[in-house]
Structure 1
Amino acid sequence: MRQSGYSFIELLVTLTLITILLLIGFSILSRLIAELRLDMATFELSQHWKFTRFDAMGSGTTPTTLCMKDDGRIEVAKIAGDDCETVSEWQSLTNGVNIDTANSTLRRVRGPGGNDGTIYRVSWADTRGGLGGSWGQLGRLTLTAQGTTAKRCLFLFRVDGSWDIREDNRCQS
């Protein structure tokens, strides 16, 4: 008499292979989602930089500043002037992305309202460097996301206000 169906060993091997493939797939998917969050936050922040600089063009020597902080979630605020300590309304960016404070070199607010030196600022105004020139500070803001080792950096690298987005190893130069 012949039996139809699968043996216990065949079912066990099949379930083991399916489990391994699902774990690999989940790992790849979670890393992909983390990198997408990082890319979205970088894009959002770059648009804030772009519009802040655009608003500063033709506005005279009073700087237009973008204040950025990370209290578990990156938040930004655009202000006239450069006093980030007085900001009361912040706009949140993509969740799960953080500022890498060890590798960010933009100017920080240090006073009592400066969130222990973790409010970063980037300012533009009409300067000798040109319309929308950097208001005295150059550096980078490095972003990381939970679930990936990837990094994204926004570099303010010239006094004329030029800035760039860099990835991973290019964040250091």
Structure 2
Amino acid sequence: MERIYIGMGSNLADPAEQLRSAVEALAQLPHSTLAGVSAFYQSDSLLPGQPRYTNAAAALDSTLEPLELLDALQAIENGQGRERLERWGPRTLDLDILLFGDRLIDLPRLTVPHYQMQERAFVLYPLAELAPADLRLADGRSLKDLLLACPFVGLERLPLN
């Protein structure tokens, strides 16, 4: 089993409910155990004119290979109405593999650690709730240093439901 961290986001069709449904689907993945889920956070979209996003992170222990997991995550997204009309458009659900054990992955369909995660507070702070304090990414960067360089600005931690 490898520990995998997944970033989750939604800004359409009741985003918090989309994330709750995604958590239920992650818990049903074969050869996998859902190990934890962060609080939900809300933030403005990176692009003007889009609704606010609700984000979270999940920890998954799994024996699935990276592309098997990617396919399963995309099936969950599609099942919840995800339409890939534009790269940075609004979405019912976005599931991203942030970290996959200690692997560095550079494939046409998948890059891990997830690119640009170091610039996104809405990824790092939910991840920090689940990851060990001394977590180092496969490329050597520490989560602690990434958090110091990416302040908790523009995020709102939502109350637990």
Q: Could you tell me the TM-score, scaled by structure 1's length?
A: 0.28
Structure number with higher helix proportion: 1
Greater relative contact order, per chain length (Cα 8 Å cut-off, separation 6+): 2
Q: TM-score, with normalisation over the residues of structure 2?
A: 0.30
